[in-house]
Amino acid sequence: MILLIIISWNIIANYYFLRIDLTEEKRYTLSNATKKVLKTLDDQVYVEVFLDGDLPPGFKRLQKSIKEFLDETRIFARSNVQYTFLDPMASNDEGAQQKFFSKLAQRGLQPTNIFAKENGKQTEKLIFPGAIVSYKGREIPINLLKSAAGVPPAEALNQSEEGIEFEIVSAINKLSSKTSKSIGFVQGHGELSELETKDIFDNLSESYNVERINVLNSNQLNENYHVLIIAKPTQYFSENEKIKLDQFVINGGNLILFIDKTNASLDQLEDGKTTAIALESNLEDLFFKFGFRLNPTLYQDAQCGMLPMVVGMQGNQPQTQLMPWMFYPVCTHFSNHPMVKNMSGVSTKFIGSIDTVKAVGITKTPIMFTSKYCKEIAVPCEINLMEARKQPNPAEFTKGQQPVAYLLEGKFKSLFTNRLTQSMEDSIDFQSQKNEAKIIVFADGDIIKNEVLAKSNETLPLGFDRYLQKKLANKDLILNCIDYVCGGKDLITLRAKELKLRPLDKNNIENKRTKWQIINVALPLVLLIIFCILKYQWRLKKYSV
């Protein structure tokens, strides 16, 4: 009977999978969105994780979480997910190591230096905390380590664990998706050049159909494009173009806007200074109708990027030093919206302010903020490079956290209702209000801009700070925005997953160390001795004559 029960149970278990997740946050339960992606795979996905070898305890925990997740995916993907863990430092040959590092960099993975204590000594290690997901001859690199500024290492690793499911499943979904949405970069109004948007354009092209378009010459925008990106326009939009943008949104098209309301730029400097003035694009009334207003102001922020400044001369050679430039805020404060949750710092340049205005039926969510130590300046105003050498007055930087980016969702109303002739309405199939749409607006055009080296026309990665030699999260932010507005709402909610940190009370541990050592070491021995004595007495009594 026992044998029959065991055999029957194994036969049933082979067809029906059952696992009970008793954790509070359901850390071992895959979301329905993940299961849906895995079940649609018709070929093998191969995941190479470069997180193996001699790692600190925190990274060992991250490695274990990744392995547990990948094991779980294999159940729902019918073994269509295969993985391996590799150690980039495995070779003792330094030349072979460097060659392997270069190969990983070419494939899109960047190393990270970590510091750990071993035997009381501080040691530095180079790791590649990422993976490469491959499917049908295509591959996507993913970064599995989240490192926001000011976040303690333990919390950063916890955020990394929270993001494992989103990062890996999002990559699988992009590779396996059979239909690609179309994205248009609007041109013709002094927007960023092809070189200045090359990095994000190339990245988006891996998963979407991306084109540069002229709105005036484009017919049937809604049929041809799912998203339009307007990146730092400096010239007027015509009324006809404005009507087309209006109807694109009314009919369910999505906009992502990177708009400067001032002409402030280091390129404008003469003798180290310039005057910032307001910019007009002729889209102001359209934006107001949709529910927001961009103001001709600039923020200075104590949490900012750096610029090299000449601080002296040594012989005939100028001596430079990196100085904080408060017109380049680094935004590390985000809302809890899944699109931006656990986002690392984002680089901005001459960012302005945004207000929301009444728009019935439109949900407005601030998604990115300055630090609480910021200052707002109205334009026109003078921008002087020498300000970087001055000690700022803390009393002036008391504005508090200010929103600099918004997500707007709902059924927008047309600006041109009752303003066009009947013949014009008929010619464009005019709609006053129709489908739901999304608009994401950033009060800075440089968020999407990658740097271009003037001498060689070489482009740097988006978000890369060449002075500090570190990469910020500009690209991740934009890719998340695109995924969200392109219908990846189910997947983007995976970023809202939370794993609670439950650290031990160190003071309590120190105070009660001896007590718990005695309980855990001595008490079992005492119980064993008592058991032996009682058993001996029982045997003595039982077998005595």
pLDDT at 267: 84
Same domain, 74 and 197: no
Same domain, 268 and 333: yes
In sequence order, which ranges of 210-302 are alpha helices (DSSP H)? 221-224, 239-250, 284-290
CB 300 within 8 A of CB 374: yes
Give, in degrees to the nearest 5, the angle at Cα 281 between 280 and 286. Answer: 115
Measured between alpha carbons, how far is 173 from 489 in angstroms, rounded to an integer? 13
**Amino acid letter, 323:** M
**Amino acid letter, 176:** S
pLDDT tens per residue, range 490-501: 777 776 666 666
- Tokens representing 163? 């993001």
Measured between alpha carbons, how far is 5 from 364 in angstroms, rounded to an integer? 59
Same domain, 264 and 405: yes
Q: Quote the number of domains for the chain.
A: 2
Beta pairing partners, 82: 46
Same domain, 272 and 421: yes
Residue of 473, 487, 352, 351 whose CA lies nearest to 409: 487
Mean pLDDT by groups of 10 residues along the chain of 545 residues = 89 72 76 85 91 84 89 83 89 83 84 68 75 90 74 74 85 82 93 94 89 89 93 94 95 95 87 89 95 95 89 75 92 90 89 94 95 93 86 88 95 94 89 94 96 87 87 90 81 69 72 86 90 89 76
Same domain, 54 and 190: no
CA atoms within 13 A on the CB side of 289: 21
pLDDT at 371: 93
Measured between alpha carbons, how far is 120 from 292 in angstroms, rounded to an integer? 55
Find the CATH number of the domain harbouring 244.
3.40.50
Do the domain assignments include residue 8? Answer: no
pLDDT at 359: 92
Identify the domain boundary among 145, 175, 205.
175
pLDDT at 17: 62
Find the CATH number of the domain harbouring 142.
3.40.30
3-state secondary structure of 9: helix
Helix (H), strand (E) counts: the chain: 16, 25
pLDDT tens per residue, range 339-379: 888 788 899 999 999 999 999 999 999 999 999 999 999 99
Domain carrying residue 41: 27-175
CB 441 within 8 A of CB 292: yes
- Tokens representing 77? 């993907």
Predicted model pTM: 0.78
**Amino acid letter, 281:** S
Same domain, 200 and 273: yes
φ, ψ for residue 426, nearest 5 deg? -65, -35
Same domain, 402 and 263: yes
Pairing of strands 45-49, 130-135: antiparallel
Q: Would you give the distance in Å from CA 395 to the centre of its chain?
A: 33
3-state secondary structure of 324: strand
Same domain, 409 and 270: yes
Measured between alpha carbons, how far is 12 from 8 in angstroms, rounded to an integer? 6
Pairing of strands 374-378, 381-384: unpaired
Do the domain assignments include residue 12? Answer: no
Same domain, 217 and 337: yes
Contacts 24+ apart (CB under 8 A), 310-314: 311/389
pLDDT at 120: 58
User: 380 preceded by cis ω (within 30°)?
Assistant: yes
